[in-house]
Amino acid sequence: MIWIFGDQHRAQALSCNNDVNVHTPNIDNMGVDGVNFTNALSGFPLCCPFRGSLLTGRYPHHCVPGHEYPLPDGQKTIAHAFNDAGYHTAYFGKWHLAGWREANGRAAFYITDPAKRGGFETWTGYENNNSQYDSWVHGGAGKDAFHYRLPGYETDELSNLLIKYVKDRGEEQKKPGAKPFFAALSVQPPHDPYIAPPEYMARFNPAALVMRPNVPGSHRVQDVARRELAGAYAMIENWDHNIGRIRAALTAAGLANNTHLVFFSDHGDMHGSQGMFRKTNPFEESIRIPFIISGEIPRYQDRKVGRIPALVNHVDIAPTTLGLCGLKKPDWMQGADLSHHRLNKPAAQAEPDSAYLQMVVPTGHPDSINRPYRGVVTRDGWKFVCFEGVPWILHNLNEDPYEQANLAFNNRYAAERKKLTERLRQWVADTGDSFNIPDDPSRRV
């Protein structure tokens, strides 16, 4: 079992998801070999909270509620579940869950306490970096501790670490009593700064990009969005190249036919849509993430393939991963196991009718939503989001996929708004959250 995930890679930015600007043949092939979840969400589109929920299957208000908050002391993760089941566990790359703060110096030189590495047996990573050609990793403990600068472009070098690990597992599998493994590779790109190796940067002309229809025509937005998006696409194509290398390494190691690959991202990037940049907001370019479960599983094993419209939220990834390996989720995980969509088996539980969106603790950064919100996205294509005591947005995504018509204050949609308000109120109660959901303003005056 392997997780491969990037940072700030929106679902729309793949050729298999109909982006005409970018060419991602290796990721596209994962969709052919596996299942491409077309309604996958980052329920809290920010690095640290997503990662906390990813590893624990718990909602951010119970785990990592904001930027630069650590995993709670003693919190178990998916690594503990795999360790208990007799797996090797390994993590490579960006961590961002040790509680380092920007005011304390450069994160690349922060050494994560071994007790705060999530229970992974092998751990080579860094807290945060944002400098793809000057990336440092550390790991080990005591006399076995290490800290060194990666010799090349970050995505290439972190992929090298996973590939070596795969080769080692392949050699181990030739011996009696070999253990299965769970490994995670977390790369920084396509997070800003939008820089890729020169041969990839040369592929994209900002002026020639086809922008999404909800990117305003103002020069300020267009100029920044085109320049940054060109770099992001270059990073994505480099990432796709490395995913091809990882799949080739699995084949060479004799592991391709019995290893699940799960590809995703922690959140998206607005790139000028709605006149906005980066993440943290509940618009589609920010919350939608790629999510593909793949692996060269032999046909006789009867695995599903194709595009799956089921909702996937960040808390569902850990339970689903365990389910793919035939393991039950621990009681402390709150998410749903959706592995049946790949395994072609009956669902272990009823699937959620909606996904819960949160901004628990705002970052206060530029280009970020600066107040808490809660929201809901339904299986039938509605989105409703509110601030404390105040409705904010209501969209029918089936009719308005680019979210250009806000229906939150239109009483023609009073019945739908009331239903969504009550569903959101139920999510707050069911998850043990605390938030003032506004009363529905449908009464005529």
Give the domain ranges of the chain.
2-351, 371-430
CATH code given to domain 2-351: 3.40.720.10
CATH code given to domain 371-430: 3.30.1120.10
Q: Which two tokens stand for residue 268?
A: 């998206």
CA distance 403 to 243: 32
Nearest Cα to Cα of residue 187 among 144, 227, 121, 246:
246
Sign of the Cα torsion 235, 240, 245, 246 reads positive
- Beta bridge partners, 32, equal none
pLDDT of 355: 98
CA distance 78 to 55: 5
- At 445, is the pLDDT very low, low, confident or very high (cuts 50, 70, 90)? very low
Residue 344 has pLDDT above 60, yes or no: yes
The percentage of the chain sitting over the pLDDT mark of 90, rounded to a whole number, equals: 89
CA distance 288 to 431: 21
**pLDDT (tens digit, 9 = 90+) per residue, 117-130?**
999 999 999 999 99
Higher pLDDT, 65 or 444: 65
Higher pLDDT, 441 or 65: 65
- Specify the long-range contacts of residues 381-386, CB closer than 8 Å, at least 24 apart: 382/416, 382/420, 383/282, 384/408, 384/417, 384/420, 384/421, 384/423, 384/424, 385/282, 385/357, 386/421, 386/424, 386/437, 386/438
- Beta bridge partners, 93, equal 125, 186
pLDDT of 202: 98
**pLDDT (tens digit, 9 = 90+) per residue, 151-179?**
999 999 999 999 999 999 999 999 998 99
Residue 266 has pLDDT above 70, yes or no: yes
Strands 2-6, 181-186: parallel, antiparallel or unpaired by DSSP? parallel
